[in-house]
Amino acid sequence: MLQLDGFPTGDGVKADRSAGRLTGSMMELQTLQEALKVEIQIHQKLVAQMKQDPQNADLKKQLHELQAKITALSEKQVHYYTM
């Protein structure tokens, strides 16, 4: 088999394809992290509002829904790190 710099040429093609897949996954991970960052910032604002009005049922509901979204995004992020 023909070799270039100690590597068979066929392996170079596999590495290129693998690198392309990795780049796509990294882009998806970056998008996921950006979404998580935004949701956490919104959460921080809601917590500040809750301190001003702790009995506000609407804020409590929004906070609960947001916590569920953050948890789901976090679980997706863990999935990408374990790939």
Residue 46 phi, psi dihedral angles, 5° rounding: -65, -40
Sign of the Cα pseudo-torsion (21, 22, 24, 29, in order): positive
- Please compute the mean of the pLDDT values over residues 43-71 and round it to a whole number: 97
More confident residue, 29 or 7: 29
User: What is the average pLDDT score of the chain?
Assistant: 80
More confident residue, 74 or 9: 74
Whether residue 3 contacts residue 48, with contact meaning beta carbons closer than 8 Å, is answered with no
Which token pair is 18?
Answer: 């693998």
Residue 79, SS3 per DSSP: helix
- Please compute the mean of the pLDDT values over residues 33-61 and round it to a whole number: 96
Write down the pLDDT at residue 54. Answer: 95
Beta bridge partners of 3: 8
